[in-house]
Chain A
Amino acid sequence: MRVTFPHMGTSHIAFKHLINNLGHEAIVPPAPSKRTLSLGVRHAPEFACIPFKILLGSYIEALENGAEMIISSGGVGPCRAGIYGLLHEEILKDLGYDFEMLIFEPPLRGLLDFIKKIGRVIRPTRVSWPTFIKVFKTSWQKLIILDETEILSHQIRPYEVIRGETTRAFKEALTLIDKAETRQELDSAGQAAEMLLRDVTQDRSRKPLRIGLIGEIYVVLEPFINLDIEKTLGEMGVETHRSIYLTDWTRDNTVFDGEKDIKNAAKPYLNQLIGGHGINSVGETVLYASNGFDGVIQLAPFTCIPEIVAKSILNRVSRDLNIPVLTLFLDEQTGTAGAQTRLEAFTDLLLQKRRNKGDLDATGIFGN
């Protein structure tokens, strides 16, 4: 069967591996583009958030490329993302597409349903459960290496001497990881990726600003929507720390020690799960502040409810803990130029703050 799935950051490299090794043909959704977005906008409700529109657009593109099955994830709410799949299916069927939609709810919701759905994927190709588990593990490993490589790239970029060198190295690294098939190949691809990045010429005497990125997972992960913010800031000489990765729960984290920490940090301001990453956004800001970060940028889809709630509380957190927070609500109209100006103004502000504290070496835009 020809199977497609959502495009989110670099994760398609791992998903492609999974689908192909289960004996299907992965129809990798094209990286989101203007066309994807405009397809999505045309058929989605006007006030759906931008991830919904992008996903819808990329499903259409994948269906045009021959996909017969769409695999996506559900969710437990109360954020809208949990019913994306349901509505995507209704809309696509109404448009006349013929396909099967498989929405994976978190296994805790109903293990049986979860297993049945996996069965739906592996039965047609007669893949045994042990093989499935093996393939799944390798794909997961791939996902971890992808995330780690990306994290490293964000740590190196603000020190690069030749602008763009990190990004070039990162792209090369991705190709290596994409090619790796077995566990061993994957291990060496991971090491090679790390070397490629560490080889970037760097000026370690810089003291870059440190900015934490918080917000809704899809827009944080997908550079097409977030104006490639990590690269943009990195090339301005800012080190970014992103709060969310797909493989989060497997990694020891220097800033956050996991969900519980984040919730505790949020507690004085918001003591209630509100869906999406709402409570995380509040808690992470508190943690970034106590870890000495210079500022926080909140990335949120326009009309995203949990992030709106978070934003209205963040005003106060920012004042109390003296950490500037910039919120970017992203939609199909967010122009790169406008956002670029806002980012520059924000980093200027942070630099000014540092200098006021007497830190004259603070590195700013392009290291000056």
Chain B
Amino acid sequence: MKETIGYPTALSYYSYYPFWNAFFTTLGFSVVISPASSKQIIDWGVKETVNDACIPIKLFHGHVMSLKDRVDYLFVPRMVSVDGKTTFCPKFLGLPDMVRWSIPDLPRLIDERIDLKKGARGLLSTCYKIGNFLKQNPARVFYAYLVAQWVHRQYQDNLNRGIFPNKILPSKETGRGLNSIETEIRIAVLGYPYEIYDSYISVNLLQKLNEMGVAVRTVEMLSNKVLGGYRHRLSKNLFWQYSNRVLWATYHYLEKKIDGIIHVSAFGCGPDAMLDKLMQLEAKKHDIPFMTLTLDEHTGEAGVVTRLEAFVDMVRFRRESS
């Protein structure tokens, strides 16, 4: 029997699952992912975390709960930095410790620090460390690393081509024909991938917009190169990987004369408190409609639909009267 590695489908899952899945399976492990977010998963998460945590962190704990009794290892990487400049939100930094000290009876954690200050070579050495922990021989690890790199590049290309992560990743239902409709209005839905593409927590927001005849634009559709071009816009960058990407995407879409921006924000998210205001002030300078949608475990579907409709109507009206 192959040994199993549990992979919680939350947080960095949306950005890096294809890489790690390819890596582990090439090494001969079988990767078990947690089911799509659900009421049960949230309830677990709420029970296991301090109540001041944001919803994505609670969700992550819930996903760990759903996996912990049926896998040999649990993959909870410590995401520190992937570009050597910015870091992830402090909760990502402390994630393995939060999980370890709050949830009892865990399988062995693969909690290697992912800190790529030295560029891609840093990633290779992280892979060696994980390989070593899993008692794999280095040559095989190197091979698995190359495969994973290749898979990751494909994934990124697909995202940049406008395909939503949920259509590629295994855990989530695919939705239909998202974004294929040619419509007159384009709205950028900006936020962290683990909120936007988790259709449970985002109350299926992307699809709803699509059904209202909106062409959705997201952060993931922009290549690292395009985003990086905005690196020097502010006198000082934000500290956090995902927040910078959202802010840079905001600059980009505002320049490209988007019709409106919806910022999807997690209730109690620290970085978002700052980010949201910066986005709002920027949209104001460009005179583009802006709305913040704050999600938490109590967010009701009906309320969101009403707000979306009102926003879309307003955007459409502005568009027509200009």
User: Which residues of A come within 8 Å of B, CB atoms?
Assistant: 44-49, 52, 74, 76-80, 82-83, 86-87, 90-91, 94, 269-276, 278, 302-306, 308-313, 315-316, 329
Contacts and interface: CB of A to CB of B under 8 A. Distances in A.
Contacts of A86: 234-236
A54 B10 CA distance: 35
A90 B281 contact: yes
Contacts of A49: 270, 273
A90 B90 contact: no
Nearest to A86: B236
B90 A305 contact: yes
B101 A316 contact: yes
B274 A45 contact: yes
Contact of B270 (A44, A304, A312, A329): A304
Nearest to B268: A303
B281 A79 contact: no
Contact of B94 (A74, A303, A309, A329): A309
Nearest to A301: B270
Contacts of B50: 308, 311-312, 315
Contacts of B278: 87, 90
B167 interface: no
B239 to A, nearest CB: 3
A187 B155 CA distance: 67
Contact of A274 (B49, B93, B102): B93
A-B pairs, top 4 by smallest CB distance, nearest first, are A77-B239, A309-B94, A47-B273, A305-B270
Contacts of B239: 76-79, 82-83, 275
Contact of A308 (B53, B240, B281): B53
A273 B90 CA distance: 8
Given A86-B234, A312-B50, A45 B97 contact: no
Interface of B: 49-50, 52-53, 78, 80, 87-91, 93-94, 97-98, 101-102, 113, 234-236, 238-240, 267-274, 276-278, 281, 284
11 contacts: A47-B267, A80-B270, A90-B277, A91-B281, A272-B93, A272-B97, A274-B94, A275-B90, A305-B91, A309-B97, A311-B52
Contacts, number: 120
Contacts of B87: 77-78, 275
Contacts of B273: 45-49, 52, 80, 303
A278 B101 contact: no
Nearest to A48: B273
Contact of A278 (B94, B102, B234, B236): B94
Given A270-B97, A311-B50, A316-B101, A83 B90 contact: no
A83 B238 contact: yes
Contacts of A44: 277
A212 to B, nearest CB: 20
A60 to B, nearest CB: 16
Contacts of B281: 90-91, 94
Contact of B89 (A48, A78, A273): A78
Nearest to A273: B93
A306 B52 contact: no
A272 B113 contact: yes
A308 B91 contact: yes
Contacts of A272: 78, 80, 93-94, 97, 113
Nearest to A94: B281
A80 B268 CA distance: 13
A271 B270 CA distance: 22
A278 B234 CA distance: 27
A78 B277 contact: no
A214 B89 CA distance: 21
B90 A87 contact: no
Contact of A269 (B78, B90, B101, B272): B101
A83 B89 CA distance: 14
B84 to A, nearest CB: 14
Given A311-B50, A312-B102, A305 B89 contact: yes
A259 to B, nearest CB: 18
Contacts of A310: 94
Contacts of A276: 90
A92 to B, nearest CB: 11
Contact of A270 (B89, B94, B113, B272): B94
Contacts of B268: 47, 303
A312 B93 contact: no
